[in-house]
Structure 1
Amino acid sequence: MTYQTSDSPGVRRSAGAHAPAPQMLNKVPEVTIWFWIIKVLCTTVGESFADWINMNLGVGLVNTALIFTGALAAVLVWQLGVARYIPFVYWLTVVVVSVTGTLYTDILTDSQGVPLAVSSSVFAALLAVVFGAWYVRERTLSVHTIVTRPRELFYWLAVLVTFALGTATGDWTLELTGWTAGVSVLLPFGLIVAIVVGWRLGANSVLSFWLAYILTRPLGANLGDWFGSPRDDGGLGLGTAVTSVVFLCAILFTVVYLTLSRRDVIEAHDLAGSRQARNTSRERGMLVYYALVSVAAAALLVWAHQQPHAAAASEEDGPAPVTTHLTPQEATSPFPPAEIAKFRAITADTLAKVDGDDQKAASRRVTDLEAAWDNDQSTLEPKSERAWTFLDGEIDHVLEAVRAEDPDKATEDKALNTLLTTLG
C-alpha cells in the first residue's frame, strides 16, 4: 500500500511541545508494492537462514542469537550513519532485525519455556509502549516523516518488536491449529488483503501500515517453512539452504532494481507538502471494520483448535501425556521399528562422539536426530500422540544437554543413555 503522510515536519508545534530535533533526509523507503514484496522476502530468508545456522551447523539457539545480536548492532550503526536512504543498507538491516527478533521469541519459548500466549501478550504490550512513547514525543507514527534521529531510533525499535510479536503470534497460531505450512500461509495473507481493503475504504493509513507490517512476519516465515518443509509435511521439500538461496537471490535482484530505478525514494518535496485532509469519521468507522476482521480471525482459530483431530487425541491419550512416564515398550511399539532403529543409531553415534570428547561433532550429530524426528512428526504423532510426546520430551533433554553453553559430560551421558534405553 502507498499512502501520503498525514503529518508534516513543518507543522508548528503547540507551546510546551518537545523541541524539534535537527532534520535529515528520510532514510526509509516509500511504501509501495515493492516495499511489501521485499519485506516478505527478507522475512523468509531471515527465518530460513537462522534455522540453517541454528540446526544444520549445530551452533545452538542461544549462540545464534548472540551472533545476530552483534550483527544487528553493526548494521544498525551502519544504517544510522548513512546520510540518506540506501536500499542495500536498509534492507540488510531489515533482514538482520527479522532474524534477531525471531530468535528472541524462540529463546523465550524453547529455552525458557514461556508459553506463546504469554510471549504474544508481552510483545503486544511492549509494542504499544513503544508506539505510545513515539507518539507522545513526536506526535506522529508516520514512516514518511522519519527525518530526525529520535524518530529513526523509535522506528527501528518498533520494527524489532513487530518481528518478535509476529513470531510469537504466528507460532501460537500453528500451535493452536496444527495447520501445515502451506495452509498456514493463507491466514496472514487473508488478513493482509483485508487490511488493504480497509485502507482503500478510508482506514487510518498509519494503523493499516503497522498492522500489515506485523502480519508480513508470519506470512514470510510460513512461506519459508512451506518451501523448506519435506513433501510429507505438506511442503515443497527444498530445504532451508535452498530456500535461503532462492529468496536471497530474489532480494538481491529487487534491491538492485530499486537502487537503479529509485522508485522507492521519498523525495524532499514530498516531506514538505501540506497536511493531507483526513476523513476522521470514516477512519473511526473503519476501526469497527478492523474489529470485525479480528473477531472473525479469532473465531477461525477457535474453530480450528476445536477440530476432531485435537479432541480425539486428548480423549484417547489421557489428560497429562507430557508428564506420564512410559516403558520402552509403550513408547516405541506404536511406531515402525525401522524408524525407531534410525533414531537409536543417531543417538548411539552422538553418545560415542561425546565419550570421545568431540563436542562439535556431537552437536552436529544431535542436529541430525532433531531433523529426523521433526521430519517424521507428521507420520508418527497420529499413531500415538501420547508416545510421541513422551519421546519428544526425551529427545528435548538430549538436545538441551548436548547444546548447553557449557556442556557437562555426565549430564550428556545420562540424557543419551536414557534415550537409548527408551528406544530399546
Structure 2
Amino acid sequence: MTTNTEELGATASRSQQLLSKVPEVTIYFWIIKILCTTVGETAADFLNTNLNMGLTNTSYVMTVLLLITLFFQFKATKYVPGIYWLAVVLISVVGTLVSDNLTDNFGVALTTTTIVFAILLAISFGAWYASEKTLSIHSIRTPRREAFYWLAILFTFALGTSAGDLTAERLNVGYWPSALLFGALIAVVTVAHVKFKLNAVLAFWIAYVLTRPLGASIGDYLSQPTGDGGLGLGTVGTSAIFLVTILALVVYLTVTRKDLTVLRTAEEA
C-alpha cells in the first residue's frame, strides 16, 4: 500500500511539473504579453533598420536565438519565467519578421498575409484539437502539446502583425486609433466571457491574437516619427522601456511565484 501511494504521489508530482511549464493566466500574463508584442514590433524594426542588418539577416539571427531558447523551454521540467518569457519575446520578433518578409521582400499584400496566417492558425488549432481533444493551455503536459502551443503562438504573432499593419497603414486608421480599436475588441471578448459565458478557451485565444496588433500599434505609436503619427521615441527608446519593464515583472514573478499553474484534474485536461 505504501509503495502504491508513493508511486501515485510521484506521478502527480511529475504531472504538476509538466503543467507548470506555462504560466497561470493572470493580469501579469496579459501585461507581459502585450509588452512582448510591443517589443516584437520595435525590436524587429531596430535590428532591421537601425543596425542595418536587413530583414533576411535579422530573420536568420532571431530564428536561431528562438530555436535555442525553445530547446531549453522544452528541456525544462517546470515553468521557468525567464525562459518562457524570453521565448515569447523572441517568437514575437520572429512572427513579426515572417510577416514583414512576405510583404516587404516578396510583395505579398497585407490582406493576403492576414488571410493566410488566419488559415494557418485555424489549421494548427484543428490539428492540435484532432490530436489532443483540447486547446486549453492548462492541459499542456506533453512535448507534443507544447509543440502545438508554440506553433499556434507563432501564427498568432504573424497574424497579429499583418492585421495590425493592415489596419494602421493600409486602411489609414492610424497607430493610436488602431490600439483603441483592438483594445475595445479585447474588452468585448472579456465581457462576452465574464457576462455571457463565452467558452474560456475560445476567449483566451481570441484575446491572445488581438493583443498582438494591440501591442504592435502601441509600439508603432511610441516609436514612429511625429510626422507619421507617432510620438517619436524611436525604436531604441521604446524597446528599452518595454524590455526593462518585462525584466522587472519577470523577476517579480520569479520571486513571488504568483503565476504558477495549479494542477488541473484529468477532466479539465
The reply to whether TM is greater than 0.5 is: yes
List gaps (5 residues or longer) in structure 1. Answer: 1-21, 277-424
Mapped pair 1:71 → 2:65: yes
Which residues of 2 match residues 43-54 of structure 1 at below 5 A?
A: 43-54=37-48
Q: Which of 25, 50, 53 is residue 18 of structure 2 equivalent to?
A: 25
**Hey, what's the Cα distance between the residues in 2 that align with 1:132 and 1:231?**
43
For residues 220-245 of structure 1, give each alpha carbon's deviation from its aligned partner in whole angstroms, at most 9, with x where no partner exists.
11111111122233322211101011
Structure 2, unmatched stretches of 5+, are 1-13
Match of 1:262 among 251, 257, 261: 257
**Cα distance in structure 2, aligned partners of 1:131 and 1:166:** 16
Q: 2:230 aligns with which of 217, 232, 235?
A: 235
**Structure-2 change in CA distance of 1:175 and 1:237 (3 Å):** closer
Residue correspondence of structure 1 range 340-355 to structure 2 within 5 A: none
Please tell me whether the aligned partners of residues 168 and 217 of structure 2 are also in contact (alpha carbons under 8 angstroms).
no
TM-score by length of 1: 0.58
Shift of 1:273: 6.7
Question: Structure 1, residues 81-108: CA drift from partner, whole Å, max 9, x if none?
Answer: 1110011100000000000011011111
- Compute the displacement of 1:274 (Å): 5.0
Task: Quote the residue 2:141 is aligned against.
Answer: 147
Q: Is the 8 A contact 2:175 2:229 kept in 1?
A: yes
1:34 aligned partner: 28
More helix by share: 2
RMSD: 1.5
Q: Does 1:248 align with 2:220?
A: no
- TM-score, L = length of structure 2: 0.90
- Work out whether residues 92 and 157 of structure 2, in 8 Å CA contact, stay in contact via their aligned partners in 1: yes
The verdict on how the C-alpha distance between 1:50 and 1:139 changes in structure 2, with shifts beyond 3 A counting, is: same
Count of matched residue positions in the alignment of Structure 1 and Structure 2: 253
Of 61-70 and 89-98, deviating more is: 61-70
After TM superposition, give the deviation of residue 275 of structure 1 in Å: 4.4
1:199 paired to 2:193? yes
Higher relative contact order (CA 8 A, sep 6+): 2
Alpha-carbon separation, structure 2, partners of 1:210 and 1:275: 17
CA distance in 1, matches of 2:106, 2:170: 20
Amino acid at match of 1:46: G
Give the alignment of 1:11-410 within 5 angstroms.
23=15, 25-26=18-19, 27-201=21-195, 202-268=197-263, 271-272=264-265, 275=268
1: CA distance, partners of 2:198 / 2:170: 30
Question: Which is higher, the Rg of structure 1 or of structure 2?
Answer: 1
Q: How far has the Cα of 1:120 moved from its partner?
A: 1.1
C-alpha contact (below 8 Å) 2:189/2:203 kept by paired residues: yes
Aligned residue identity for 1:122: V
Can you list the C-alpha shifts for 1:344-364, whole angstroms capped at 9, x where unaligned?
Answer: xxxxxxxxxxxxxxxxxxxxx
Q: Shift of the alpha carbon at 1:176? A: 3.9
- Counterpart Cα distance in 2 of 1:150 and 1:274: 19
